[in-house]
Amino acid sequence: MFSKPVLRQQVRERRRRLSVEATRRNSRAVVDRLRNWPRWPDLQTVFLYSSLLGEPDVTGLCIDTRKTWGLPRCVGDRLVWHAWPQGAPLQPGRFGIGEPDPAWPTLPIAAANAVLVPALLGDRQGHRLGWGGGFYDRALTAATGWRIGVLFAEFVVDSLPVDPWDVPLDAIVTETAWLLFRADV
């Protein structure tokens, strides 16, 4: 098995080769799969992310005005979640990722019924490989709702190296399938 830094480099190269059209098409399929999940109507507060470099774009979910949407902002080595008024412009953050305005109300991660988590890779046991900063692992320790990894199917592998601080996911959703790791589906 490769080390995490080697895997990150390999995945970044694969993502650079993704076509814009395939990324859009597969992102729409991920959004549709989330909307059709039987638990979706019951979720009132959903935290999502601004996509970066070939990650599935899930902002298409936000047409549902009955839900509260949260987006993260990097503050030091932590993520701070803010309520996102649908369609409100984002600001470029520290890593070039769109972030909410710091003046928008903050939300504790424990308030989220589901946290949609970006990942470079995910495995069939519910582990994810992120960008390497540990931001999501630190945040997810306080999450009480669903922790859902969002990936394209080609980035789901059989297994990943796991460190003690890695927080497992409850599910992974791709454009083609759900992988569920919680018993209360």
User: Please, which residues bridge with residue 9 across strands?
Assistant: none
Tell me which of 3.40.1410.10, 3.30.420.310, 3.40.50.10420, 3.30.450.90 is the CATH number of domain 4-180. Answer: 3.40.50.10420
Position 1 scores a pLDDT of 66
DSSP letter, residue 167: P
Q: Residue 96 pLDDT more than 70?
A: yes
Q: How far apart are CA 58 and CA 150, in angstroms?
A: 9
Strands 68-75 and 45-47: parallel
Please give the mean pLDDT across all residues of the chain.
93
Largest CA distance in the chain: 44
pLDDT tens by residue, 105-143: 999 999 999 999 999 999 999 999 998 888 999 999 999
Neighbours of 123 (CB within 10 A): 21
pLDDT-based confidence at residue 20 (cuts at 50, 70, 90): very high
Q: How far apart are CA 168 and CA 181, in angstroms?
A: 9
DSSP letter, residue 169: P
pLDDT tens by residue, 24-65: 999 999 999 999 999 999 999 999 999 988 899 999 898 878
Give me the count of residues in the chain. 185
Residue 18 neighbours by CB under 8 Å, 6+ apart = 54, 152
> Which among 40, 50, 56, 17 has a CA at the least distance from the CA of 176?
56
Say what the pTM is: 0.93
DSSP letter, residue 164: T
Position 29 scores a pLDDT of 98
Tokens standing for residue 4 = 């995490």
